[in-house]
């Protein structure tokens, strides 16, 4: 069976049961600031699940493109993806558990003709909020002929909300046996030869901002069937990458690398998965570009991860855009936006790949210097990451090749220290920790260092920082200076800062005593606030300043610096407001 057949069968079946086919939404949700990506078919339906009237009625069916990065570390196995297509049917306050379960069973066994003997299900087993297990769903499954030992009661069978608030509820999941041996009589959800293919969410609660579960106005059904997994199962594969959805990509990687899929399945899978996701992200109608923020950061991370795994296959030249061409060709009939945005997708990939390869080669030079001067240790290895974005995995591999074993734990301890200091992980965004709404604050902090130095160059060494207030929107900065600044002085300070941004200066830091910091020539106007040991941030040879951070890793990440206001703050103190334009 082809993917097209599967989609058509799904649509036709649910249409014959009174469902209307609706089109897929963008990968970037419109109405949910708590998530970065559309992670399920229910996303665009949230208002209707909460009780709004949907223009297409109460029974809907669709296929939705989804991105889930919380599973990124599992990509590389046979069934996990960062991008996938989800088939779904919905009842918006119409039918509930009984019909939902009956439809699912009929579709799996009569339409797809899956072997009943290989199907198992799980139901909600109760948790601290709702202690009772879902006896109704159990009853409906039993009535359809599912054996009791093939029904598992699971505490975690709860889906949603997608972000921090919204509709959610217990669920019942369907699994298919993919092992070579006969399906065991008893269902063991821990055995990954049982692959989850479909999830019926019995959506009857709304999680509020205060963490309460209130009953929804209406009882809904929200189902999600993984297209890739189901297609694999229907074709007798125990590996989604063997399906027609991935084979052209896998073949292209084989051709580019001269290696066979069987020799390093993990790298092949990661590359195929990640580049497919990247194509859909930048090809979306809300097109994403790699950056250091939000969706752009996720995109950057997956492209770079694919390039790293490309190295394992010996792919040292740009390859991502060649794969993208294959993917666009494969998917353009169902997703015409990919063809429309093809030029943009390819250009973005090429740019990002060039940037990352450049980072890698700079980091490599620095690495070699460290080895030659016998200064390679976990701390300097970590500095390689902060200054050059040089990835840990590569550092560890190279160190091993050079006969120097670095401890991953010690390196990670450095990383932890850095993270605690820069507190970049944002609360609220969904699992995976990729979102970072504090990135702008870091950029502003970094720009403030450049600005202080620039003001000293323009106005003289009497300029001393008197206070600052930095947030995601802007820099507010007070400094000692007696006169109003002229437009020329402002322009000159801006130009100096922008010049340093253009120079792409690495931002690095070292710990030292206050005395050493003074000797080193670091600025620091609030020295009394700092403990005995201080951290000094250095930006190329332009700026040295005592500071607790957090900062970006390179001035090139700042964008365009602009002073938006200059005024008096108090006697002898001026106040500047400045912004970074993207």
Residue 13 or 561 with smaller CB distance to ligand SER: 13
CB closer to ligand SER, 40 vs 231:
40
Tokens at 248, concatenated: 């052209």
Taking the complex as a whole, the smallest distance from the CB of residue 124 to ligand SER amounts, in Å, to: 14
Among 103, 159, 194, 388, binds ligand SER (CB under 6 A): 159
Which residue blocks in 187-293 are alpha helix, DSSP H? 227-234, 247-257, 265-283
Query: Interaction with ligand SER in 69-98: which residues (CB under 6 A)?
Result: 88
**Tokens at 186, concatenated:** 């008893």
The nearer residue to ligand SER, 41 or 506, going by C-beta atoms, is 41
How near is the Cβ of 222 to ligand SER at its closest, in Å?
5
The CA-to-CA distance between both ends of the chain, in Å, stands at 47
Residue 122 binding ligand SER, by CB under 6 A: no
Four-point Cα dihedral 199, 205, 208, 214, nearest 10: -160
Structure tokens at 245: 């959805």
Interface with ligand SER, residue 60, by CB under 6 A: no
CB of 64 to ligand SER, least distance (A): 9
Q: Which two tokens stand for residue 358?
A: 């450049």
**Shortest-Cβ-distance residue relative to ligand SER:** 224
What is Dmax (Cα atoms) for the chain? Answer: 86
| Residue choice 41, 44, 167, 283 for contact with ligand SER (CB under 6 A) | 41
The distance of closest approach from Cβ of residue 336 to ligand SER in the complex, given in angstroms and rounded to an integer, is 24
- Using CB under 6 A as the binding rule, whether residue 222 contacts ligand SER is answered as yes
Which residue carries 């306050």 as its tokens? Answer: 93
The pair of structure tokens assigned to 249 is: 């990509």
Q: Is 108 in the site for ligand SER (CB under 6 A)?
A: no
* Tokens 């296929």 sit on residue: 63
Residue 64, beta-bridge partner list? 86
| Span from 8-16, 141-149, 219-227, 451-459 in contact with ligand SER (CB under 6 A) | 219-227
**CA separation for the pair 242, 228 (Å, rounded):** 10
Cα-Cα-Cα-Cα dihedral sign, residues 146, 148, 152, 158: positive
| Cβ nearer to ligand SER, comparing 159 with 194 | 159
Among 44, 224, 296, 391, binds ligand SER (CB under 6 A): 224
DSSP class of 434? -
- Tell me the site size for ligand SER, rule CB under 6 A: 10
169 contacts ligand SER (rule: CB under 6 A): no
CB 187 within 8 A of CB 157: no
Tell me the window of 40-48, 128-136, 183-191, 498-506 that interacts with ligand SER (CB under 6 A).
40-48
Q: Tokens at residue 578, please? A: 């400045």
Residues 191-210 binding ligand SER (CB under 6 A) are 199, 201
* Token code pair at residue 26: 């963008």
Distance CA 547, CA 542 (A): 15
Q: Is 42 in the site for ligand SER (CB under 6 A)?
A: yes
Residue keyed to tokens 């951290």: 535
* C-beta closer to ligand SER: residue 88 or 296: 88
Q: Which residues form the interface with ligand SER (CB under 6 A)?
A: 40-42, 88, 159, 199, 201, 222-224
């Amino acid at each position: 069976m082809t993917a097209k057949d599967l989609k058509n069968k799904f649509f036709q079946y649910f249409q014959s049961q009174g469902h209307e086919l609706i089109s897929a939404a963008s990968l970037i949700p419109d109405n949910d600031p708590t998530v970065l990506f559309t992670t399920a078919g229910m996303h665009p339906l949230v208002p209707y699940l909460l009780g709004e009237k949907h223009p297409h009625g109460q029974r809907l069916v669709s296929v939705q493109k989804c991105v889930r990065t919380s599973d990124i570390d599992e990509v590389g196995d046979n069934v996990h993806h960062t991008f996938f297509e989800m088939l779904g049917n919905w009842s918006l306050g119409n039918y509930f558990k009984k019909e939902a379960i009956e439809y699912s069973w009929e579709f799996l066994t009569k339409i797809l003709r899956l072997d009943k003997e290989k199907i198992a299900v799980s139901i909600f087993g109760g948790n601290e909020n709702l202690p009772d297990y879902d006896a109704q769903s159990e009853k409906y499954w039993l009535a359809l002929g599912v054996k009791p030992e093939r029904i598992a009661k699971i505490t975690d069978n709860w889906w949603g909300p997608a972000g921090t608030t919204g509709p959610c509820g217990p669920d019942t999941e369907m699994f298919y046996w993919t092992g070579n041996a006969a399906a065991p009589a008893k269902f063991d959800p821990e055995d990954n030869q049982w692959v989850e293919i479909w999830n019926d969410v019995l959506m009857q609660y709304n999680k509020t901002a205060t963490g309460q579960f209130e009953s929804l106005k209406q009882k809904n059904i929200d189902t999600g069937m993984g297209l890739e997994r189901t297609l694999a199962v229907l074709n007798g594969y125990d590996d989604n990458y063997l399906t027609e959805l991935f084979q052209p990509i896998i073949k292209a990687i084989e051709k580019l690398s001269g290696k066979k899929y069987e020799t390093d399945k993990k790298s092949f899978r990661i590359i195929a998965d990640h580049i497919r996701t990247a194509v859909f992200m930048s090809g979306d109608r809300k097109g994403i570009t790699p950056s250091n923020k939000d969706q752009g950061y996720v995109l950057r991370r997956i492209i770079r991860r694919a390039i790293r795994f490309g190295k394992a296959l010996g792919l040292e030249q740009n390859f991502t855009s060649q794969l993208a061409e294959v993917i666009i060709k494969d998917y353009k009939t169902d997703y015409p936006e990919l063809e429309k945005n093809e030029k943009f997708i390819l250009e973005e990939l090429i740019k990002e790949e060039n940037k990352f390869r450049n980072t890698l080669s700079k980091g490599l030079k620095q690495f070699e210097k460290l080895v030659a001067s016998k200064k390679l240790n976990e701390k300097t290895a970590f500095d390689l990451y902060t200054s050059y974005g040089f990835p840990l995995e590569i550092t560890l591999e190279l160190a091993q090749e050079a006969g120097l074993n670095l401890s991953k734990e010690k390196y990670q301890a450095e990383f932890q220290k850095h993270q605690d200091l820069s507190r970049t992980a944002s609360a609220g965004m969904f699992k995976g920790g990729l979102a970072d709404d504090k990135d702008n604050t870091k950029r502003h902090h970094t720009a403030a260092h450049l600005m202080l130095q620039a003001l000293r160059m323009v106005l003289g060494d009497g300029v001393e920082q008197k206070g600052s207030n930095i947030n995601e929107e802007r820099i507010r900065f007070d400094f000692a200076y007696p006169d109003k600044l002229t437009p020329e002085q402002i322009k000159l300070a801006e130009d100096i800062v922008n010049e340093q941004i253009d120079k792409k200066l690495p931002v690095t830091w070292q710990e030292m005593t206050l005395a050493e910091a003074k000797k080193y020539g670091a600025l620091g106007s609030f020295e009394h606030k700092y403990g005995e040991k201080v951290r000094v941030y250095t930006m190329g040879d332009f700026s040295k300043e005592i500071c607790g951070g957090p900062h970006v890793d390179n001035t090139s990440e700042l964008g365009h610096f602009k002073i938006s206001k200059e005024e008096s703050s108090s006697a002898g103190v001026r106040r500047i407001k400045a912004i970074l334009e993207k």
